[in-house]
Amino acid sequence: MPVRVEETSSSSSAPSQLSGENSSGHTSPPVCTLLTVGQAFSGTQNVSSLQKDEAWRVNVRIQEAWRVNVRIQGCDLDHGYLCGTMEALNVPMADTPVVTFWEGEIVDGKNYTFFTGKWEASSEDDIRHWTKFPSFQPLLEQLKVDGGKSLDLINYRYKFMRWKEQYFVNVGTDCGLTIAGFYYVCFSCTDGSINGCYYDPNSSPFQKLELKSTNEGRSGFSFSSY
C-alpha cells in the first residue's frame, strides 16, 4: 500500500516444523491452499506521518490505520513469483480508494533468499525486518551459519516474501503518496494470515501490515511450469 510522502538456535535444535515431519517421522509438506490465485485478504496498515501543530509550532507524529484489501492475481511457486493488487480504502488525502499493482518474491532458497540485495536494503536492514516476525526466529541461527542454504523452506509452515508495488492503478504519481519502498511479508500456511513490515529509508520505519484471508470469490491467473 502506498504511504504518505513525508517532508537462537542451531539447525539441529530447530522445531520439527522446519522439516515438516509428522509423528510417524514421514515428511508431510503443509498445504498452502490460501496462497493461490484469486485469494483475497483484508486488514489494516498502520501508517505514521509528521504533521505540524500550529499552536505549539512543532511537528507531531500522527498514527493512522488505513483499511487495506489485497488480492493475488498471479502465482508461480516454482519460480518464487506472485503478483496482485493492493487497495487502500480510507486514505485521508484521496477522494477515492488508492489501488496499486505489486509483484512479489517468495523466499524459497532457490529463486530468492532472505537477503534483498536491492531497493536500498542492506543485509542488516533485512535481518532487522525479518526478526520482527516470531516465525523467523527459529531460522536465524542457521541463516548466520550458511546464509540459509540448508533451511528447508519448502516445508516450513510460513512463507516469507517481499512485495514491491510497481505502479498506481487508478491515480497519478502526483497523488501525494509514494510506492518507493517494499514489504517484508510473512504468510501463514495454517490460517492464511499475513503480517508485513514496510521498508523505505525515506518513510517512517516498521509500518505494520496485518491481513486476514477472506471468503470472496477467486479470480486471477496461474503460470504453467516449464
Annotate 16-41 with DSSP letters as a single string: GGGTTB-TTS-B-----TTSSTT-EE
What is the structure's pLDDT at 47?
Answer: 78
Q: pLDDT category, 176, cuts 50, 70, 90?
A: confident
Looking at the predicted structure, is the pLDDT value of residue 4 above 60?
A: no
Please compute, for residue 140, the number of CA atoms within 13 A of its CA located in the half-sphere on the CB side. 16
Looking at the predicted structure, is the pLDDT value of residue 148 above 50?
A: yes
Alpha helices in 55-207 (DSSP H): 123-130, 137-146
* Mean predicted confidence (pLDDT) in 140-158: 90
Pair 173, 153: CB distance under 8 Å: no
Q: Which residue's C-alpha cell is 496499486?
A: 100
What is the structure's pLDDT at 203?
Answer: 77
7 against 162, higher pLDDT:
162
Looking at the predicted structure, is the pLDDT value of residue 218 above 80?
A: no
Looking at the predicted structure, is the pLDDT value of residue 19 above 80?
A: no
Looking at the predicted structure, is the pLDDT value of residue 211 above 60?
A: yes
What is the structure's pLDDT at 42?
Answer: 97
Looking at the predicted structure, is the pLDDT value of residue 25 above 80?
A: no
What is the structure's pLDDT at 222?
Answer: 45
Of 39-48, 64-73, 130-139, the range with the highest mean pLDDT is: 130-139
What is the structure's pLDDT at 154?
Answer: 87
Q: How many CB atoms lie within 10 A of CB 83?
A: 19
Q: pLDDT category, 219, cuts 50, 70, 90?
A: low
- Give the burial string for 115-126 (b: 16+ CB within 10 Å, else e): bbeeeebeeebb
- Residue 101, classified by CB atoms within 10 Å of its CB into exposed (0-12), middle (13-18) or buried (19+), is middle
What is the structure's pLDDT at 22?
Answer: 43
Share of the chain above pLDDT 70, in %: 75
* Mean predicted confidence (pLDDT) in 59-77: 85
Q: pLDDT category, 9, cuts 50, 70, 90?
A: very low
Average pLDDT of the chain to the nearest whole number: 81
Q: pLDDT category, 34, cuts 50, 70, 90?
A: confident
What is the structure's pLDDT at 226?
Answer: 34
